[in-house]
Structures are given as structure tokens and as C-alpha cells.
Structure 1
Amino acid sequence: MRNAVLAILAALVLAVAALPAGAVAPDEILEDPALEQRARDLSANLRCMVCQNQSIDDSDAPLAKDLRVLVRERLVAGDTNGEVIDYLVARYGEFVLLKPRFSWNTLLLWAVAPLALLVGGATLFVAARRRTRTLATARTTTLSDTEQAELDRILAEGGDGR
């Protein structure tokens, strides 16, 4: 019984340790829980310009901290979520967004994966049809009398054709 309790306790400790650690320092947290939640939602979708594949919410980089503070300052000043995002995009470019907006500038980015999937599927379909036709043609092809006689002669001699 004691081993089972220890195993459950160890599993809980490992589960908690596996959770992503937020890099938000206690001095950054806003007193208003609604504003803090908005800040967390925004910063979870903003890219750390140093780490590049982490959100500013998860990054310990000094620039990420500056961006988290900037987001909170803008929210306290009364900006909407959209205004905060627009401000950061104007300042740092679309790269600051972890999920880029759909626009003419990002059309290629959004279209490449589905197009590659379609091209790959079409290629496989054409190759399969071509193979099926080749196999069907090979099965229905008969030898002429001359070819059949040559084949019989080769087989009678031992099959090596010499």
C-alpha cells in the first residue's frame, strides 16, 4: 500500500514538473485579474525575438520581459487586444506573431502546405494509374508465333539464351 502511495506521489511530481514553466515574474503580474488574463492571452501568441520559437510568456530572455511589460503597460493604458497587437506588429513586424495573420503577404506561407499535399496526392494517383495500365497491358499482351517459337527454343536449351 505504501509503495502505491509513493508511486502516485512520484507520478504527480513528474506531471507537475512536465508542465511548461511560465517566465512571468511576480513583479510583472497585474493586480486586476481580468487584465492579467488578457496580458497572458496576448503574450502566449507573441514570439520572443531572441528565442524565436517560444512565446514571450515562456521565455526568460530580457527582451521577452520587456515585451511582457510593454503589453501590460498598453493594457493598463486602455488599449484593446487588437491595438496592442497592431502596436507590436508596427514596431517589430509580422514576425512577432507566433501565428501570422492571413493576408496577401502571407498567402504563400498559408498555401504551400495544402498545395504540396495536393501535388503529392495527384502524383501518387497518376503513378498508380500508370502502373495499373502497364500491368494490365503486360497481362494481355500475347507473343507472336515467332516469339513463342524463340521462347520455346530458349527454354528447351536450358533457359540462358546462349
Structure 2
Amino acid sequence: MSNALTNIEGFTIRTATEEDIPLILRYILELADYEGCKHLVQATEESLMESLFVKNQAETLIAEYCGEPVGFSMYLFKFSTFLGKAYIYLEDLYVTPQWRGKGFGKALLINLMKIAVSNDCTRLDWGCFVYNEPSMAFYKQLGARELTEWADFRVDGELLQKYGQSV
């Protein structure tokens, strides 16, 4: 999928393929390192292959400049029961440090907005660590609003297994 969203000659966004698994994992690790939580990453090439290309649990886009990968976004469709329609949840957006500030991150977000509109989705949501001030400033500069009416919750690890395996 070529990207006509920017005036940057040579910039494209394409759907990831199985051959991109090592690149996707590299970007996940770089993003986790940037956010100070690399120790939490459990993803492997095998788990990404299974989740992305066998079970189709998420979609991944690769941003390229003159044929060189410069970033990625990973998203999935969710559903709003209140609205009765789907929306897109952006799991990750990452542009490598040397390519930041060139409009590639904005182009990835706009591309996701176009995907949302073309799929009759109601919105595009994502989370951001509150200490990630550069990213928060970037999102707010685009006009995104910070949600304060929701608190995130999680069940994982042993507790998830305990209840998920109960009879």
C-alpha cells in the first residue's frame, strides 16, 4: 500500500509479511528498550509468526523510506458495544530514532485513521506510558485527546492461568 499521505518522496507504508518477522521483533525490542521495559518482552519470532500470520490476531504495517524500513505500527480491530461498531486499537507505533521528526510517525497514524474510516470504524484508540512525554506531546500536537475517564486493568500470569484453566 503506497502512501500518498505525505509529500516525502520515496516514503511508503506496506502490510507486513512473514519475512518481516525478524524486523518486527527488532522493532518491538527497540521500542521496549526506549520505554525502559525491555525486560518485559516475551515475544519471539515463533510467537509473532503464530499470532500475526497463523491466528491473524493483529495487523502490522511497515514504513519504508527509499526501500529502507524506518518504523512500524501494529493494530487490531476491537468492538464498542455502546456504539455497535468496531474501532481500531493501536498496540504499537515506532519510528527508529534516526528517522524521527521527519513525518513518518504522523503518516503511520494518518494511515491508520484512513483504515479506520474505510472500515466504518468509530475511532482510533491507543495507550501511552505517562512518563513518555515526547510521545504524549507528539500525540497532543496531532489533536489527539488524553482520556481520563478510564482506568486500565489487567489480569495476567498466574492469575490468568488460574481462572482460565478452572472448570
* Coarse TM-score class (shorter-chain normalised): under 0.3
TM-score, reference length from structure 1 = 0.23
Higher relative contact order (CA 8 A, sep 6+): 2
Largest Rg, 1 or 2: 1
Could you say which structure has the higher strand fraction?
2
Q: What is the TM-score when the length of structure 2 is the normalising length? A: 0.23
Q: Looking at secondary structure, tell me which structure has more helix per residue.
A: 1
